[in-house]
Amino acid sequence: MAMYPGATRMLLGPESRQPAIRPTQLLMHSIVAPWDARRLHAYWRDSTNLESHFGIGYGGDVGQYLDTGIRADANYRANRRPDGTGAVSVETASNTKASDPWTAAQVAELIDLGVWVHRTHNVPLRICRSAHDPGFGYHSLHRDWSPSGTACPGPARIRQFHELVFPGIVAAASGDKPGGTTYEVQRDDTLYEIARDYRDVSWQQIAAANGIRAPYTIHPGQELTIPAGKTSPSRPPARTVVDLSRLRAAAKTDPPKAGTPVSYAGTLVVELALVEDGLMERRYADGHFGSKSVHGYSLHQQRMGYRGTQPGGAADGIPGWDSLTDLGDRHGFTVVA
């Protein structure tokens, strides 16, 4: 049973008596209407019982309509499976053709919600490989999630899911758990994916700590010792990598308007670091290295002592090696040239 602190509670009465689920997935939808979270609540209450747990308006307003431990009805066979597992679902405001991209505020809220679902329900940081596979997805990803086929949430948002939202969840949530604990293996887990959740622990270290040798087979229910992480020169392979030359190209070419394709997904990793440093507002972290990102990056360079904010100056907001590795060292990503 869980309520998301980032949402306004707008609980639906009758649906709260639906059966319990153990959440293993987060599935994203478009509602095909430009509604805010409150209007969505009225729709669930008055017009249909095919509700989702959450709704997100264009402005990033988030409503929670059902406890995540209760079945929601938007995901067909993923609502609740015979084994009691089920999907957490989130509807998002869209135009009436579901053809528009998520706004920057919606992307930011989907990432925050995804991190919360990952931490609260142990949903693994991967895209669902099958209809029952634990992880993250969108409505049309698997046929079993819709009775008659669907294009939901629409092609523009499916691209954002792959380029921005899912990488953003991974970037924000990876490596945040301390080691020195145990973990019970879930179905379809791999050592690589388990290690990605822990700070400074590689999959090879987990294999060694448990006497597991090639081909590194693990079984559901198996209890693994997760060693305490040590910062070492050989970083775990799952650490996020940001390519300086691709980032610089994005910073010089990205259009200032949201909703255009993202030229380099690593941009979001850097933007989230600037947000954490208090140099940029969260709602502008959208994967585009536009003017807000350039400005935030310039503030970071100035903090490091660089001067000259005019184009070509040392603090012009275009990333360089020293300023980017400083950001990466403190925010957990590796820079390559």
Q: Which residues bind Zn ion (CB under 5 A)?
A: 29, 139, 152
Measuring CA to CA, which residue among 290, 179, 277, 163 is closest to residue 224?
179
Q: How many CB atoms lie within 10 A of CB 307?
A: 9
Using the Cα atoms of residue 146, residue 150, residue 154 and residue 155 in order, give the sign of their dihedral. positive
CB of 268 to Zn ion, least distance (A): 24
If the CB atoms of residues 29 and 142 are measured against Zn ion, the closer one turns out to be: 29
CB of 150 to Zn ion, least distance (A): 6
CB of 15 to Zn ion, least distance (A): 17
Separation between Cα atoms, residue 153 and residue 146, nearest integer Å: 12
If the CB atoms of residues 147 and 215 are measured against Zn ion, the closer one turns out to be: 147
Cβ atoms 90, 113 nearer than 8 A: yes
The DSSP output letter for 331 is H
Cβ atoms 285, 167 nearer than 8 A: no
CB of 59 to Zn ion, least distance (A): 21
DSSP states of 124-156? -SSB-SSTTSSEEEEGGGSGGGSSS---TT-HH
Beta bridge partners of 91: 29, 55
CB of 285 to Zn ion, least distance (A): 25
Separation between Cα atoms, residue 79 and residue 21, nearest integer Å: 8
If the CB atoms of residues 126 and 139 are measured against Zn ion, the closer one turns out to be: 139
CB of 34 to Zn ion, least distance (A): 16
Convert 54-81 to b/e letters by CB count within 10 Å (16 or more is b).
bbbbbebbbbbbbbbbbbbbbbbbbbbb
CB of 5 to Zn ion, least distance (A): 25
Using the Cα atoms of residue 206, residue 212, residue 217 and residue 223 in order, give the sign of their dihedral. negative
If the CB atoms of residues 158 and 238 are measured against Zn ion, the closer one turns out to be: 158
Separation between Cα atoms, residue 22 and residue 67, nearest integer Å: 11
CB of 166 to Zn ion, least distance (A): 17
